[in-house]
């Protein structure tokens, strides 16, 4: 059997330079596209990343009767005048975890929704319990079988406390609460930039939300919603990826309109690795004269870089930080707390020459700097795939990265944008026999 997948052929060891602008935040675009179904009036979304996950969600909202049209490359018009409680396509749902975000708006508009189990990256167990518990408290019933069935005779406000600060569960709860009658208070809410962006969009539609950016959000629901035009903010995870890109290739880069107000923890994490960025208005500058020396803890102890819920260092930047650490002088413990399978890509880095000890599914010790050698590797998930691309760009020789569809689920036209900086990367059809 011959596949028509895509590979990246990457010639490493070249310095880059120039200016790059981050795409719209993928993790904001998905809940905002879903939440656009709450209103029966036209919605215009700008700066929407044109990536596979978003395209898949657009197909799903079209399948339930919404009109969705790309009027420019990154501008999407949505008009959910009439919706139907249709069974969603299981083949589309298994491509993205974001399919679960349709539960709240379809419950609000149709009173019921049937979802196949959502897909997405395989980076460990990603429980859905918080979604069910939150929607149940808001007045929905659910049934779990081969499909997920939700029903409601009317959503109502409630005071709830989430059992974990799940981002997508918080987004589902906030979206449902905007449509519910009465006031909802959500404690232990996630407050990442993409959750904040969703809240700002819902306010633009006419919702009333207090506590945006905190872990206690109050929603006064049941208000009449209108149409709106909303611009999705920059992707701080992509900015973190570009900081790592500049560091490992020893390149000066300017990241335009980087959303610097959301970068404190990311910048602090990279500073621990000896990578310091400068702020110039709305832009972030990564100079090429970095020390690239890991900063020990007081007394010379081995430092630790760990991820935690916002506003701490984001889990989605951990893979990038690990690759960056392989090029830095010193030793650091990388502690991935969120997902038990996200560290498993480090064996590919070890195969390229990195000095890494994987202690357990959550911790790895990185000692650097290591001279990486080109290799043929797979892209296991969005973030690890981007990390492998960074490793290939700083390695000696020419690497082949397979399964790059995973990278392209989260990074728009990344090969074109990196070539504009001077990267030697070619996107080719993979015609290996399977």
Q: Kindly state the tokens that stand for 367.
A: 């000692």
CB 78 within 8 A of CB 42: yes
Q: pLDDT tens across 165-199, in order?
A: 999 999 999 999 999 999 999 999 999 999 999 99
Q: Is the dihedral of CA 70, 71, 74, 76 positive or negative?
A: negative
| Active-site residue, 316 included | no
Q: Print burial letters for 338-356: b (CB count within 10 Å at least 16), e (below 16).
A: bbebbbbbbebbeebbbeb
Ranges for all domains in the chain classified under CATH 3.65.10.10:
5-23+235-430, 26-231
Q: Is the pLDDT of residue 419 over 80?
A: yes
- Mean pLDDT check: name the lowest of 54-63, 84-93, 400-409: 84-93
Measured CA to CA, the distance from residue 114 to residue 133 in angstroms comes to 17
CB 258 within 8 A of CB 22: yes
Measured CA to CA, the distance from residue 26 to residue 372 in angstroms comes to 30
Instruction: Indicate the CATH number for domain 5-23+235-430.
Output: 3.65.10.10
Q: pLDDT tens across 136-171, in order?
A: 999 999 888 888 888 999 999 999 999 999 999 999
Tell me the whole-structure pTM to 2 decimals: 0.92
Q: pLDDT tens across 277-336, in order?
A: 999 999 999 999 999 999 999 888 999 999 999 999 999 999 999 999 999 999 999 999
Average of pLDDT values for 102-118?
A: 88
Measured CA to CA, the distance from residue 310 to residue 289 in angstroms comes to 30
Please tell me which residue in 121, 307, 316, 430 is annotated as part of the active site.
121
Q: Is the pLDDT of residue 120 over 50?
A: no
Interacting residues of 186 by C-beta distance below 8 A, sequence separation 6+: 134, 160, 161, 162, 170, 173, 174, 177, 216, 217, 218, 219
Instruction: Indicate the CATH number for domain 26-231.
Output: 3.65.10.10
What mean pLDDT, rounded, does the chain reach?
A: 92
* 126 confidence band (pLDDT: 50, 70, 90): low
Q: Is the pLDDT of residue 411 over 80?
A: yes
First to last CA, the chain: 5
């Amino acid at each position: 059997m011959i596949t028509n997948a895509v590979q990246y052929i990457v010639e490493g060891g070249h310095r880059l330079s120039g200016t790059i602008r981050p795409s719209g935040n993928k993790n904001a675009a998905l809940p905002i596209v879903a939440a656009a179904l709450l209103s029966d009036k036209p919605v215009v979304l700008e700066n929407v990343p044109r990536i596979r996950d978003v395209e898949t969600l657009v197909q799903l909202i079209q399948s339930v009767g919404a009109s969705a049209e790309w009027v420019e490359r990154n501008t999407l018009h949505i008009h959910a005048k009439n919706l139907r409680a249709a069974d969603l396509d299981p083949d589309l749902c298994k491509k993205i975890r974001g399919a679960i975000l349709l539960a709240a708006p379809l419950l609000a508009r149709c009173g019921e929704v049937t979802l196949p189990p959502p897909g997405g990256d395989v980076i460990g167990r990603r429980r859905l319990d918080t979604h069910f518990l939150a929607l149940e408290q808001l007045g929905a019933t659910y049934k779990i079988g081969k499909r997920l069935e939700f029903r409601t005779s009317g959503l109502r406000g409630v005071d709830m406390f989430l059992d974990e600060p799940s981002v997508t569960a918080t987004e589902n709860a906030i979206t449902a609460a905007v449509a519910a009658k009465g006031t909802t208070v959500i404690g232990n809410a996630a407050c990442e930039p993409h959750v904040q962006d969703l809240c700002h969009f819902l306010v633009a539609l006419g919702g009333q939300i207090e506590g945006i950016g905190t872990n206690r959000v109050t929603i006064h629901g049941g208000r009449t919603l209108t149409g709106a035009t909303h611009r999705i903010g920059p992707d701080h995870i992509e900015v973190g990826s570009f900081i790592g890109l500049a560091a490992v290739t020893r390149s000066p880069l300017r990241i335009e309109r980087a959303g610097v107000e959301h970068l404190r923890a990311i910048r602090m994490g990279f500073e621990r690795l000896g990578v310091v960025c400068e702020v110039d208005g709305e832009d972030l500058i990564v100079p090429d004269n970095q020390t690239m020396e890991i900063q020990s803890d007081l007394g010379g102890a081995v430092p630790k870089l760990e991820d935690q819920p916002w506003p701490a260092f984001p889990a989605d930047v951990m893979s990038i930080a690990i690759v960056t650490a392989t090029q830095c002088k010193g030793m650091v413990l990388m502690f991935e707390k969120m997902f038990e399978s996200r560290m498993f890509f480090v064996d590919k880095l070890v195969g390229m020459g990195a000095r890494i000890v994987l202690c357990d599914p959550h911790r790895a010790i990185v000692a650097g700097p290591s001279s990486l050698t080109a290799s043929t590797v797979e892209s296991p998930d969005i973030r690890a795939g981007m990390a492998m691309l960074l490793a290939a760009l700083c390695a000696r020789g020419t690497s082949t990265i397979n399964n790059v569809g995973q990278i392209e689920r989260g990074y728009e036209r990344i090969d074109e944008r990196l070539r504009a900086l001077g990267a030697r990367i070619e996107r080719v059809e993979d015609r290996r026999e399977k």
